[in-house]
Structure 1
């Protein structure tokens, strides 16, 4: 890649509303209350207009996540999509909607498709009813299967989410069942117990051996079934990779719209340059919006200036998640940092440990390096 593109080509929209809160979830989500969605939609309209006035935008991808975006009523979803289109445009390459299986019907699938969504990320999580009950999911296995087939029948590219390392989970049949439904993409995430969640309060734990088995079994089985592990947690048939998520892993800029949404913005031409940030000439800016009630009041989010060195370590942390790794010449061009020279020691140490490989162009994590990637990147932060 050449120098950073000053045009923002990707948009993430956060919808915080859920019918119920899953016991493992630590995202910014809440149940809907009277009038709250209407206030949310009005604020989305205002924030979308401000983003359009501030940045040069020509969207390739739109991703509406949450929360449970598919929980929105049809008029609400139409208002949300209209605000995005009116101020920021629509993705020319891919437009994804996160969908809970319990919200799917043939009519709703056709409605979402008519709004311009072409990719569905479906929170199946498991196709085993006992596992779904343990996870606190409100849908059952039958609804999960029907949701995937209904969306595929309406022309969506379908990605299915799976949670692994769940006690008693029949992972092999979960994977086989999801693939048999015809999905082109699978996102497989290890069950993680985050502080403050219901699972943490109940003392639920995940054994490292179970994590490792799920990590390795998922790759082995999906590879055998024709999928490529193109990122630590993501598998795709050829051409079915998530274009939007690849933007994150490639270190590209993107807009974050909605409460709790994070964005990665070009520094050039933004009003923050005139507000005297700590670094007078940051390479990019990262901003995280406040949670819903502060966001509704117009409270500004936290903005962090990213210099060349910080950009490199962020790009390595994200890019080493990819099977293809990171092209160090391109990263040096984008950041203005000689990556091979500055991080020679960290590279050498981790190559010797068998956690990284380098072919003269691309730095890649090995399977063992993926397993301890946080530790690998820590060496670069300290370098």
Structure 2
């Protein structure tokens, strides 16, 4: 199991791991308003917080840049609403990142709220080096948007996508499904018609502590299942390929390269308040790989280091299963064995056999994949592997 470690200052002696980190996530917590379903670390803009945030990001980027071997393939600016930053603020942020950790060689994504887009702003972002936009459309039905607490209209979402495409962006559109009364087929058809190359479709989830949870909002299982099935049916009929549980692409080249890094267990930097990263240890010093999750804004601004979790070989396996089985292609068992130091196929043979018998997993040569039924029950599958690993350790 994961074991908490004391925080290690980022500017301490370099790890000098032989692994090159090729991906970076930067969290921008500021939003024009807070959606009632959102449980991310976000807050409304006020006072001098943005100025202090930008200064602290530069410090953090400098520390990470001096600590790791970094040659970025992808960079992802998420939130929050990164596109809510003003032009000068975005220039300062991107300059800090370029100066200390570099820029993505293959893909640089900006999360965009439709209400923040104009032709001039889209051109400005493109000029700064962003080439992919992930747009929080959520729906093209105004009553659904109102229920979700979104401030933009369906027409504003259409115009935002069109303006980003005109500026030269690769565009991904986000949809929320399983909302009562939502005309999902129309939402999907409208998004396809706009010309996006990628769609991320996520079921509305009611998380504890959110306004929706306090209001007693619920999601019916039949709506969740219908959304799951309709999204696949309509998008695949339009030529999109479902390459991950919730993600569809017009072509292999349109897949999210950055998110694939998460799903395939690659290391990545995590910057900003609430940002999480995955980092290599130093095998020569018997250091395990670890996760670092930054604290929330005010603690992060004060320089607190957040939570660090060392990963055991069994942790590496269960993390990889939870993420890798989300992919249509599944995961390659020999690669996972090399990464974890365990003979996965041998050590987990009983649980693999049981999941195969239940029809939740498939084994294609050396690739382990979830079936459609297994996608629905992914937590149950991973729990079975986790419990088996704990039993082995206890023995």
| Same-fold call, TM cutoff 0.5 | yes
User: 2:306 matched to which residue of 1?
Assistant: 301
Query: RMSD of the alignment, in Å?
Result: 1.2
Within 5 Å, which residues of 2 pair with 1:66-85?
66-85=79-98
User: Displacement, 1:5?
Assistant: 6.8
What's 2:278 paired with? 264
Residue 334 of structure 1 and its aligned partner are, at CA, apart by 1.7
**Cα contact 1:283–1:307 (8 A) shared by 2:** yes
Unaligned runs of 5+ in 2: 1-16, 389-395
Deviation digits for residues 208-254 of structure 1, max 9, x if unmatched?
11101101110111000100110001000111000000000000000
Residue 24 of structure 1 pairs with residue 29 of structure 2: no
CA shift digits 1:13-66 (9 cap, x unpaired): 000000100000000000011101000000001000000111110000000000
Aligned equivalents of 2:228, 2:45: Cα separation in 1: 35
Query: Is it true that 1:140 corresponds to 2:145 in the alignment?
Result: no
Q: Say whether 1:171 aligns with 2:184.
A: yes
Whole-Å Cα distance in 1 between the matches of residues 235 and 302 of structure 2?
Answer: 46
Aligned match of 1:373: 378
Alignment of 1:22-171 (within 5 A): 22-171=35-184
Instruction: Give the deviation of 1:103 after TM superposition.
Output: 0.3
Query: Which whole-Å deviations, capped at 9, do the CAs of 1:110-165 have from their partners, x for residues lacking one?
Result: 00000000000000000000000000000000000000011011110000000000
Q: Decide whether the 8 Å contact of 1:163 with 1:191 is kept in 2.
A: yes
Partner of 1:288: 293
The whole-number CA distance in structure 2 between the counterparts of 1:31 and 1:53 is 32
Q: Which residue of 1 aligns with 2:195?
A: 182
Number of the residue aligned with 2:10: none
- With the length of structure 2 as denominator, give the TM-score of the two structures: 0.93
**2: distance between equivalents of 1:9 and 1:268?**
17
Cα deviation per residue 1:261-286 (whole Å; 9 max; x = unaligned)?
Answer: 000001129xxx9xxxxxx7343110
Shift in CA distance, 314/5, structure 1 to aligned 2, threshold 3 Å: farther
Q: Which moved more, 1:299-308 or 1:20-29?
A: 299-308
Structure 1 residues without counterparts, runs of 5 or longer: 274-279
SS in 1 for 2:176: strand
CA distance in 2, matches of 1:220, 1:281: 48
Kept in 2: contact 1:185–1:236 (CA 8 A): yes
| Aligned counterpart, 2:14 | none
1:152-188 C-alpha deviation (Å, 9 max, x unpaired): 1111000000000001000000000000000000000
Match of 2:332 among 327, 331, 334: 327
Counterpart contact for 1:283–1:335, Cα < 8 Å: no
Q: State the partner residue of 2:268.
A: 254
Work out which of the residue numbers 191, 200, 205 in structure 1 matches 2:204: 191
Q: Could you tell me whether the CA contact under 8 Å between 1:320 and 1:326 is conserved in 2?
A: yes
- Deviation of the 1:336 alpha carbon: 1.2
8 Å CA contact retained: 1:98, 1:122: yes
* Aligned mates of 2:331, 2:103 — CA distance in 1: 29
The yes-or-no answer on 1:230 pairing with 2:256 is: no
Quote the Cα distance in structure 2 between the aligned partners of 1:351 and 1:135: 39
> Which consecutive aligned stretches of 4+ in structure 1 deviate over 6 angstroms post-superposition?
none
Tell me what 1:360 maps to: 365
TM-score, with normalisation over the residues of structure 1?
A: 0.95
What is the CA–CA distance in structure 1 between the aligned matches of 2:377 and 2:235, rounded to whole Å?
22
1:152 and 1:346 map into 2 onto residues whose CA distance is 47
Q: Which of 259, 264, 267 is the matching residue for 1:245?
A: 259
